[in-house]
Structure 1
Amino acid sequence: MAFPHEDNLPKSSCSDQNRAKTAAPEGPAVDDARSALDVGKVLTPQEVENINDKSFLQALKTWPFAALWSMVLSSTMIMVAYGPAWIAQLFALPAFTMRFGFEYDGVYTISAGWQSTLSACSMVGQIIGATSIAILMDKYGRKPSFIFALFLISGCEFVQFFSTSLTVLLVGTILVGVSLGCFGVLCLTYAMEVVPLRLRGALGGLYSLGIITGPLLSAAVAQAVVNMTSVWAYRIGYAVHWVWPVVLLPLSIFLPESPVWLTRRGRLAEAEAALARLAITGYDVGPDLARMVAVDQQELLYAQSTSYIEIFKGVNRRRTVIACVCYATIALTGNTLVNSGAYFLILAGIDANTSFYWALGSALLALIGAFCGLYILAAWDRRPVYIWSQAIGGLVLILVGFVQLEASYWERVNGPFGQAALFAAWNFVYGAFIGPISTVIMGEVPNNALRPKTVAFATMVQVVLVVLTLVINPYLMNPGFAFLQGYIGFIAGAIGMLCTIWIYFYVPETALTIERLELLFEAEIDARHFRSYDVAQLDGPDAVPAGHEADMKCKA
């Protein structure tokens, strides 16, 4: 029997016009999935309720190569975080400032305008890259897009490496920023699509681990070249970007395409082969492929295309808002402030050497926290941990403000050192809880069809907020302007508490099967009840959200 082409797919508003017309040979798993595809079958609420996912160890033993490939792609997040961090290191690198800066009171420096421009344009490039790669991923697949991004950064890095003026360096920074923006969307989307529920949290948490590791790598490279006086002092730092393409391009030849993307294109035989490559040898991928097809059919009822406009329609709008706010909390609740902790301490009267040692220790605490976060994401639900961690983070920052109220703050070092300890504690909470959980929820909450676009849009929102906080914070901290010192903790802490309240009412538990998430969002269940709600209750008319009755006829 021939495998069904696109002509056999359900039509009208339920059909995804972007599916490929691809014939495929029969196979056991294809037979399982074909019956669902022939009739546009979706899983009933009772079938979804009865799905039992494997434990973490069982999932890891069954899908070892899915975990391995997710780790490979997630390693690029170290490079993504390293890029902007290296730009910040350059402004303190003597060889760089002597070549591109000007002398002021015997010290070479880069003008504040150029510092802001280079930092901001790197972020602008990432926005362009993230929003563009999502379109390519939908059209050409995850694997070709990943290879393209690796080639892109390999070429763009030459502009930075050989730059002879700040203008050329600016062009190179934008181009490299575009390249770096691609990888965040790619690695998170791929991880969420190829690994089962029990592995999603830990492997999605590698995204946050990479973000924390990148600045540490840039600091280590800067320390290694700080005493060099030749152009190689800063060129070596740029050349580090080439490590990833050199290692990953040969590996990417063997990267399995996302079976979710192949299923959406109607290429079920290839999806079966991809699943088989991601699983342990001899594992029957038939039921997994059938579930994948059923989810795809369900999503077609609520996303008639994969355009950016679709993420703002119907139930998808709710999912987009959740993804954006969760990822934005990283910028809104103190991350930028704590990252400026060394400068904060210098303004408080602590010597520069001690301040920078504190910054290194604080970053290491965040890294330790990130490793703890991998276990937390694998073992615990997202929602309760997320709520408590945001509340604790907000409380810690408010305490920073109360320390500033101490009458003898300027007479003793206890106050600044107490604030330094609180900042370090916040960094651990961020590394273990806030950062990884925000990222994983951002990746889990969209549906499969719109995940790249949703992740890209949430990334854009977060980057814009990071740029705004980078611009605003100096005015709040510096003498001659607001000079709020520790009182900034009241502002950041209050925002953190407001985010906690919003999360409590609007962010659902996402450590659920994709099928369950689809039904709960479609039925517009309150976010507080996602974990406990019995989706079997959705059998009957209540299973169809208002306004979608006509779409449901496509299943017949």
Structure 2
Amino acid sequence: MARFRGGILVQALPADRSDEAELSFQFTKEEHAQGWREAMVLYWPAIGWGLFMNLATVLKGIDGGVVRSLVGLPIFKEKYGYERNGEYLIAAQWLSAFNYANLLGAIVGALLSGVAYERFGPRVMIAVCCVCSIAFIFIQFFSRTPAQLFVGELVNGCIIAFYPICASAYVAEVTPLALRGFAATMTNLGFSIGSLVASGILKGTESMASYWSYKIPIATQWVLPAVVLALVGFCPDPPYWLCRRTPDDTAAAISSLRRLAASNVDVTKKLAHIRETLRLEESLSQSNHRPSYLDCLRGADLRRLVICVMAYDMQAWTGNVFFISYAVHFMELAGLDSSDAFSMNLGLTALGLAGTCISWTLLPRVGRRTMYLIGCSALAVLQFAIGAVDVSSRSGSGTWAQCGLMVACTFVYDLSLGPFCYVLLAEVSSVRLRGLTIALATVTCFVWSIVFTVVIPYAMNADQGNWRGKIGFLFSGLSFLCAVYCYWCLPETRGRTFGELDVLFERKVPSRKFEDYKVGIDVGGRRLEE
């Protein structure tokens, strides 16, 4: 049982676990003392495999980037739209449907992914998804009507939802403490790279006066699943998952740990730490059955789930659907021609990628909670400015100002909420329920993304609400509320091992107080502290 001792939380363990508990404690001390460079030298294979696992998330970025920007292509509008006052438009219902199709499918995929990760592991899960992706892209490529394209997006969205959930859980389980934040941001990096690739391809094809202007971008989605499928069989399974699957057989976990570290690393301490963390979580949950979604709704795991849900949902509430998914459409409504809109979108995605890369320098220095506060506050100001410019000016300079502010929003988002969200998902969720917790958080984010994807075209379009840039006021207010939540309810997880976080959550330490406590262990009456 854990108990408070001033600013220290002490976790009491039975004496019969003294050997493994001491090895685990030694490993924890070494993790805290380890710098970024040292960790990179010792655990570069883990980073390499984490990068590979995130390669599949690039496909999600490409898929989303292609579909949300295809609607701006003149040939696409002629094929799937209708003529109004001498120009072709995509009907509002199809405009929103093309954007929420993959999100709607992703809700089903996300719910299945948590169970699939726990039961089959990441290698089998990714291999099956790659085969399905290759098959479902055919539906998009050969679609002739809006309904067919919608179905292709829907079923492929179900599959690609597996990739980021699997990647986030995998990276959290294979990387050391010093590299965990950096590696977790690779999921957002994958999205950014995918969006940049999609924007570049679309910029290159938008001048084509044939159906290839939108078929080529769709066809590029076949490349990554084929590459990942060819190599995923060589990927080591995560040791935490192996120890959960077969607690009494450590041979596979030891083999995996050795493949994930340099040859001179002694893996016995980390194995002891993994086993102790899993034992601690079992004792706290008082459950020895296969994890299920219901377990996420009990005790401390419910609080962890709520934090993960809020961390993910704030991506939608702060307007990422507005300034990323509808960027090209908004810029055209603001007054830019098709070519300039696609050029701005290319710059937008490039700056988003730069923001993710810059966030790596902030991860070891700035807390997760601090970056969320900064990001939400900055987005509130920027999106208020978009609305204010729309109210005050409809001139050419006002148009470019609004588009520039959209680009700034993307940069701030990919510097803060974008990458730091996946770090929080990896750190806040318990080891035992990680895949399931991330899956549920993903589902809620997709639900809100669908809501905004449906609402935004009706609010912005000239033939509907005609809000144009004034929709920035809505997301400015929501971003402010998110900043308030972050101040009161978001914990700081930087520099904590999974075992330490288990104790902090189990003892119901207030979110704003996480940094004020150290965690020690008591083995059979003998106190061990850093």
TM range (shorter): 0.7 to 0.9
Instruction: Identify the range of structure 1 (315-324 vs 348-357) with the bigger mean alpha-carbon deviation.
Output: 348-357
User: Residue 399 of structure 1 aligns with which residue?
Assistant: 385
Check if 1:292 corresponds to 2:277: no
CA deviation string 1:430-474 (max 9, x = no partner): 111121112211222101111111111111111111111122223
Q: Do the aligned residues in 2 keep the contact of 1:192 with 1:443 (CA within 8 Å)? A: yes
Residue 506 of structure 1 corresponds to 489
Q: Is the 8 A contact 2:243 2:253 kept in 1?
A: yes
**Distance 1:209-1:74 versus aligned 2 partners, 3 A rule:** same
Q: What corresponds to 2:304 in structure 1?
A: 319
Query: What is the aligned partner in structure 1 of residue 410 from structure 2?
Result: 427
Runs of at least 5 residues in structure 1 that lack an aligned partner in the other structure: 1-34, 544-556
1:377-409 CA-partner distances (Å, limit 9, x unpaired): 244322222222222222222333444564xx2
Structure 2 match to 1:471: 454
The corresponding residue for 1:553 is none
Identify the residue that residue 348 of structure 2 maps to in structure 1. 362
**Who is 2:158 aligned against?**
178
Structure-2 change in CA distance of 1:36 and 1:468 (3 Å): farther
Q: Which amino acid aligns with 1:336?
A: V
Once the two structures are superposed, the pairs formed by residues 122-133 of structure 1 within 5 Å of their partners are 122-133=102-113
- CA gap of 1:233–1:46, structure 2 versus 1, over 3 A, is closer
- 1:268 equivalenced with 2:261 (yes/no): no
* Counterpart secondary structure, 1:63: helix
Going from structure 1 to structure 2, the CA distance change for 1:530 and 1:427 (only over 3 Å counts) comes to: same
In 2, distance between residues paired with 1:232 and 1:288?
52
Instruction: Work out the CA distance in 2 between the residues paired with 1:36 and 1:119.
Output: 57
Please, what TM-score do these two structures have when normalized by structure 2?
0.86
Residue of structure 2 equivalent to 1:282: 264
Amino acid at match of 1:225: T
Which residue of structure 2 lines up, in the alignment, with residue 160 of structure 1? 140
1:478 is displaced (CA, Å) by: 3.4
1:75 aligned counterpart, secondary structure:
helix
8 Å Cα contact 1:45-1:539 kept in structure 2: no
The 8 Å contact of residues 42 and 297 in structure 1, kept in 2 or not, is answered as: no
TM-fit CA distance, 1:209: 1.5
User: How far, CA to CA, are the matches of 1:93 and 1:355 in structure 2?
Assistant: 10
- How well do the aligned residues superpose, as a CA RMSD in angstroms? 3.1
The Cα offsets for residues 170-189 of structure 1, whole Å up to 9 and x where unpaired, read as 33222211111110111111
Distance 1:136 1:526 in 2: 33
CA distance in structure 2 between the partners assigned to 1:506 and 1:47 by the alignment: 32
What are the residue-to-residue correspondences of 1:444-463 with 2, within 5 Å?
Answer: 444-463=427-446
Give the secondary structure class of the aligned counterpart of 1:535.
strand
The Cα offsets for residues 508-555 of structure 1, whole Å up to 9 and x where unpaired, read as: 1122111111110111101112122122499999x9xxxxxxxxxxxx
Per the alignment, do residues 103 and 398 of structure 1 end up closer, same or farther by CA in structure 2, a change over 3 Å counting? closer
| Greater RCO structure (CA 8 Å; 6+ sep) | 2
Counterpart for residue 502 of structure 2? 518
Rounded to whole Å, the distance in 2 between the matches of 1:396 and 1:385 is 16
What is the aligned residue count?
505
Who is 2:295 aligned against? 310
Q: Deviation of residue 228 (structure 1)?
A: 4.4
User: Which ranges of structure 2 fall in alignment gaps of 5 or more residues?
Assistant: 1-13
| 2:49 alignment partner AA | W
- Aligned equivalent of 1:496: 479
Shift of 1:504: 1.3
Give me the whole-angstrom Cα distance separating, in 2, the residues matched to 1:422 and 1:167: 34
| Deviation digits for residues 151-191 of structure 1 (CA, Å, limit 9, x no counterpart) | 22122223333344444433322221111111011111100
Contact 2:139 2:148 in 1 (8 A): yes
Change (3 A) 1:484 1:91: closer
Aligned to 1:169: 149
Alpha-carbon distance between aligned partners in 1 of 2:89 and 2:467, rounded to the nearest angstrom: 26
Pairing partner for 2:519 from 527, 535, 541: 535
Match of 1:226 in 2: 206
CA distance in 1, matches of 2:472, 2:440: 29
Distance 1:237 1:400 in 2: 30
Summarize the Cα distance change of 1:146–1:352 in structure 2 as closer, same or farther, 3 Å threshold.
closer
Alpha carbons of 1:195 and 1:162: their partners in 2 closer, same or farther (altered >3 Å)? same
Query: TM-score, structure 1 length as denominator?
Result: 0.83
In 2, distance between residues paired with 1:319 and 1:196? 21
Measure how far apart 1:284 and its partner are: 0.8
8 Å CA contact 2:115, 2:436 repeated in 1: yes
Classify 1:393/1:230 alpha carbon distance in 2 versus 1 (closer, same or farther; 3 Å). Answer: closer
What is the match of residue 384 of structure 1? 370
Query: What CA distance in whole angstroms lies between the structure 1 residues aligned with 2:29 and 2:187?
Result: 31
- Give the Cα separation in 1 of the matches to 2:120 and 2:16: 22
Contact 1:36 1:294 in 2 (8 A): no
Q: Once the 2 structures are TM-superposed, how far is the Cα of residue 348 of structure 1 from its aligned partner?
A: 4.4
Q: Distance in 2 between matches of 1:397 and 1:505?
A: 23
